Structure 1
Amino acid sequence: MTGTHVQFYCILVRVSQSADSGQAHTGQIRLTDYRAALTAPGARWPVLASLLGRLPIAMIAISAMLYTQREMGSFALAGVVSASILIGVAIASVAQGRIVDKLGPTRPLLVLASVFLVASTALILAIDGHAAEWLLVILAFLVGASEPMVASPSRALWMRLVPAGSVRAAAYAYEAISMEVFFILGPGIAGLLIGLPWPGLGLAIGAGCMAAGAVAFALSPAARAWRGEPDAPAKSLLGALASTGMRTLTIAAFGFGVVIGFVEVAVPASATNAGVPTVGGLLLGLWSLSSVVCGVLYGLRPWPRPMHLRLPVLLGGFGILVTTLAIPDSLWALAGFMLLAGVLITPQATAHSATVELVAPRGTMTEAFGWVITAVTLGLAAGQSVSGTLVEHAGPWLSFLAAGLSGLLLAGVVWSFRRTVAKPKVAGSVLAPVG
C-alpha cells in the first residue's frame, strides 16, 4: 500500500462505541498516552521489529515498477508487474489474518519470511535477465503473496498489550500515522536507489528489511505468547466481512487505494517525461510529508465528527484534491500540488483503523485489518494497472483526472452505505471504547 510505521503527538481520534447503547463518543489523546503505549510491558521489541518490517511497505512494489521500467523500457509492463505484487498481497493478507487469529503470528511469519526471500530473489534475477513478461508477472504475484504481513498482527497485538481507552487509541493512532512516515521514506528511497549503477538495489534492500523485521517480530515474547482466539465464536465463511460495516469500510479503503495507485504511476511518469526520473520517488514522498503534518492538525479537531460521515467525506475530498494534479505544467508546480493533495491521506488511514474497532466481529481483528490491507492493495493494483495504460497513450494528466473521478465515485458509494458503519449489525462486534 502506498497503496501505506513511527513517532507522533496530539491526535484526536473518534474511535469508540458503547457495547450497551451503541452511542459513539470521542476522546483526546495526550502525549502521555503515546508514551504509555510505546513503553507498555512487552511492547518495545515488537514495536521496533514492526518498524523494520514495515519500512519497505511502500517500497517493494514501487522499486519493482521502477526497476522493470528501467530494464524493460515500458511503463505499461512496469505497472502490470507492480499491480501483480499488490494483487498477491491483497489475496494473501486476509488468509494470513485468519491463520494468525487461529495460531498466533510466530509460525506463519517465519514461514512467509523464508518464502518471500526466495520469491524476491527470483524476481530480481528475472528482471535482471530480461525474462519473458509472463514470468515477470507470475514471480511478482508470488512476491506479493508471500510478503509477511507484519502490519495486521502489529495492530491487533495492541489489544493484548494495552487496555481499552485513550492509551489504546494512541497506539492505533501511532500505527496509522507512523505508516505515513514509511510512505514518505519508501518512495523517496526507491527513487534514489533506482539511480545507482544497479537499479535492483531498492528491491533487494526492501525485501531484506521486510523479511528481517518479520522474523524479529515473530520471535518477540509478546508475539510468541499470542495463542490465537480459542474462545471466539464460530465464524461464517465471510469471516470479518460478515459485518456490513466491514464491507462498507473495505469500499472506502479500496477507493483510497485506487486514487493512490493512479498517482503512484503518473508521478514517476511525469518526472521521466521531464528528463529527471529519479525525482519521481521524491515527489511521491512529498505528498506523504504533508499528509503527516496535516494529519496531526486534523486530529486535533476531526471533521466530520461521526465516523460514518468521515469515511465518505474524506475520500471525496481526497478525490477532489488529486484531480488538481492534472493542472501543473512543471515539476515544481506538481510538487506544490502534491503537498496539497496529500493533506487527507493520514486522516483516512486513521479513520480506517478506528472503524475496524467499531465494526469487526469478535475474534477477527487481525483478519479485519487484513481486509483493509487487501482492499487498499486491490485499489492500488487497479489504479496502477489502468494508470500505466493511460500514461502510455495520453500522458500523466489523464491519469490524475481519472484518479480524482474514481475517488469521488467510490465516495458516493460509501456515502450510500454510511449507516452500516454508524450502527454495526453483527453480534459480537468489537465495540469496546478505545478513545
Structure 2
Amino acid sequence: MSHNVSLADYRAALTAPGARGPVVAAVFARLPIAMVGLSLLFYVQRVTGSFAVAGLVSAGALIGTAVGSVLQGRIMDRLGPSRPLLAASLLFAGLVAVAVVAVESHASTPVLLVLALGVGMTQPTVGSASRALWARLLPAGRARQAAYNYDAISIEVFFILGPGLSGLLAGLPWAGTGLLISAVSQTLGAIGFALTRTVRELRPLEQTGSKLLGALASPGMRTVALAAMGFGVVIGFVEVAVPAAATAAGHQPMGGVMLSIWSVSSVIFGVLYGMRPWPRPMHLRLPVLLTGFAVLISLSAIPSGLVGLTITLLIAGMMITPQSTAHSTALEQVAPPSTVTEAFGWVITAVTLGLAFGQSVSGYLVEHVSVSSAFLAAAAAGLVIASLVFVFRGTIAAGVPAQKKDHALAS
C-alpha cells in the first residue's frame, strides 16, 4: 500500500531516534555513487590515451557493481550490515590503491579489467543497507514511505553531482584525483555508517524461502527487477544518445549539462509525486510509469535542435525519481523481509544491467544509424518491457503471503 507524504513526514523520518548518524554517514558513502566508475574511466583514458581501454575498464567496474550489490546484500541479510560493510570497505580501499599503482605502471588491459571488476564488486553497498534500515527504524506508514522517497531522491541528486565533479577533478594535474577522492569519501562514509550504534545493533531476521534464489524466489520480486531493468535500459540509451546529439550539433560539452538538467526535473517532480502518487496500486504503478517514461522519451526523436531536446528531456526526466521510489517501495510488498537488503541489491543489479545493455546498443545506433534511432529504440524497449511487467502484474498484487511476513518480522 502506498501513502501520500508531506514535508513533515520527511522531517519525521530523518529525525527519528537512531536515524541521524546513519543518514549523515550515508551521504558521504553515497555521494561518489556516480563518481568511482566515471573517474576510473577518465583516469585510464588520460594515462593510456585510449578510450577503448578506458571504456572496457569502466564496463568491468559496472559489471562488478552489478554482482557485488547482490552478494553483499545477501551476506548482510544473514550477518547484519556492520561486519560485511567494514570488510567490503577495507577490500575496496585496498583494490583502489592497487588499481592506481597498476594504471600508473601501465599494466596490461586484462590486469586493469580484473582490478576494475574487483573495485566494482567491493564498493560498499550502503544504499541497500540504508533502505533495509528504514524498515526496522520506522513503522509502516507515511514516515517510512518518506524515508524511501528520500533515499531515491538523494541518489538522484548524487547522480547529478557525481559526473560534474568527476569531470572537474579529471582536469587536475593528476588524473587520478577524482578516483582517490571518491574512494576515500565512500570508504570513510561506509565505515562511519557501519559503526553507528543503530547499524551495529541491527540483527539479521530469520531466513525463510529458497537459499539459492534468495529474494528472487518471490515471483513479485522478479517482476520488480524486470521493471527496474526496463528503467535502466531506457536511461542507458539516452545517456549515450544525448552526448552524441550534442557532439553532432557542435556543442560537445552540452551533453553532460543536458543530462544533469533532466535529473533536476526528476528530483523536483519526485518530491511532488511522493505527496500524491498515481496510480495507487503498485502492480499498476510500475508498468504505467515505465510506459509514460518510454512515450515521453520518444519525443526526443523529433528533430528540434538542442533546445528542443533539452525541453523534452526535462519533461521525460519527471518520470525518473517516481520510478526509483516505486521500485524501492514495491520491495516491501514482494520481498520476504529476511531478504530485504539482497532484494534492493537485485534492483541495483537490474538497473545496472539495463544501463549496460542500453548504452551498448545505443552506441551502435548513434554511430551506424542515427541519434533519433537511439531515442526510438529506447522508447520501443521501454514499451516492450512495460508490457511484460503489466502481464506479470498479478505477481506484485499477490506480494508475499502475510503469514510469512508476520513470522519473519516477529523473529
TM-score by length of 2: 0.90
Of 14, 32, 56, which aligns to 2:8? 32
The answer to whether the 8 Å contact 2:92/2:124 transfers is: yes
The answer to whether the 8 Å contact 1:113/1:146 transfers is: yes
Shift of 1:215: 0.7
Equivalences, count? 407
Report the equivalent of 1:303: 278
Question: Distance between the aligned counterparts of 1:129 and 1:272, measured in 2?
Answer: 33
**Which residue identity does 1:383 align to in structure 2?**
G
Per-residue displacement from partner, 1:282-329 (whole Å, max 9, x unpaired)? 322211101011122323332222211111111122122223333456
Question: Distance between the aligned counterparts of 1:99 and 1:322, measured in 2?
Answer: 38
**Which residue identity does 2:384 align to in structure 1?**
L
Matched residue of 1:107: which SS?
A: helix
* 1:400 correspondence with 2:365: no
Per-residue displacement from partner, 1:345-396 (whole Å, max 9, x unpaired)? 0010110011000011131111111111111111122223333444444454
**Stretch of structure 1 that moved more, 275-284 or 236-245:** 275-284
Shift of 1:248: 0.2
The answer to whether the 8 Å contact 1:191/1:280 transfers is: no
Matched residue of 1:163: which SS?
A: coil
* 1:293 correspondence with 2:254: no
Report the equivalent of 1:106: 82
Q: Given the superposition, is the C-alpha separation of residues 426 and 236 from structure 1 closer, same or farther in structure 2, using an over 3 Å criterion? A: farther
Shift of 1:192: 3.0
Question: Distance between the aligned counterparts of 2:257 and 2:405, measured in 1?
Answer: 39
Report the equivalent of 1:212: 188
Q: Given the superposition, is the C-alpha separation of residues 207 and 280 from structure 1 closer, same or farther in structure 2, using an over 3 Å criterion? A: farther
The answer to whether the 8 Å contact 2:362/2:374 transfers is: yes
The answer to whether the 8 Å contact 1:360/1:429 transfers is: no
* 1:144 correspondence with 2:120: yes
Of 250, 260, 280, which aligns to 2:235? 260
Shift of 1:125: 4.5
**Which residue identity does 2:227 align to in structure 1?**
A
Matched residue of 1:399: which SS?
A: helix
Question: Distance between the aligned counterparts of 1:290 and 1:156, measured in 2?
Answer: 27
Matched residue of 1:305: which SS?
A: coil
**Stretch of structure 1 that moved more, 114-123 or 264-273:** 264-273
* 1:179 correspondence with 2:155: yes
| 1:30-429 to 2 correspondences below 5 Å | 30-69=6-45, 72=48, 77-127=53-103, 131-229=107-205, 231-233=206-208, 235-273=210-248, 277-328=252-303, 330-394=305-369, 396-424=371-399, 428=403
Shift of 1:158: 1.2
Q: Given the superposition, is the C-alpha separation of residues 132 and 334 from structure 1 closer, same or farther in structure 2, using an over 3 Å criterion? A: farther
Per-residue displacement from partner, 1:156-214 (whole Å, max 9, x unpaired)? 11122222222212211211222211122112222333344444332322222111111
Q: Given the superposition, is the C-alpha separation of residues 302 and 33 from structure 1 closer, same or farther in structure 2, using an over 3 Å criterion? A: closer
Question: Distance between the aligned counterparts of 1:127 and 1:278, measured in 2?
Answer: 26
**Which residue identity does 1:62 align to in structure 2?**
L
Q: Given the superposition, is the C-alpha separation of residues 166 and 303 from structure 1 closer, same or farther in structure 2, using an over 3 Å criterion? A: closer
Question: Distance between the aligned counterparts of 1:385 and 1:141, measured in 2?
Answer: 18
Q: Structure 2: state its 5+ residue gaps.
A: none
Q: Which structure has the highest helix share of the two?
A: 2
**Stretch of structure 1 that moved more, 213-222 or 138-147:** 138-147
**Which residue identity does 2:265 align to in structure 1?**
S
Q: Given the superposition, is the C-alpha separation of residues 150 and 281 from structure 1 closer, same or farther in structure 2, using an over 3 Å criterion? A: same
Shift of 1:38: 0.9
Matched residue of 2:356: which SS?
A: helix
Matched residue of 2:337: which SS?
A: coil
Question: Distance between the aligned counterparts of 2:67 and 2:351, measured in 1?
Answer: 12
The answer to whether the 8 Å contact 1:324/1:337 transfers is: yes
Shift of 1:102: 1.4
RMSD value, Cα: 2.5
Shift of 1:331: 3.9
Question: Distance between the aligned counterparts of 1:289 and 1:36, measured in 2?
Answer: 25
Question: Distance between the aligned counterparts of 1:110 and 1:301, measured in 2?
Answer: 38
The answer to whether the 8 Å contact 1:358/1:430 transfers is: no
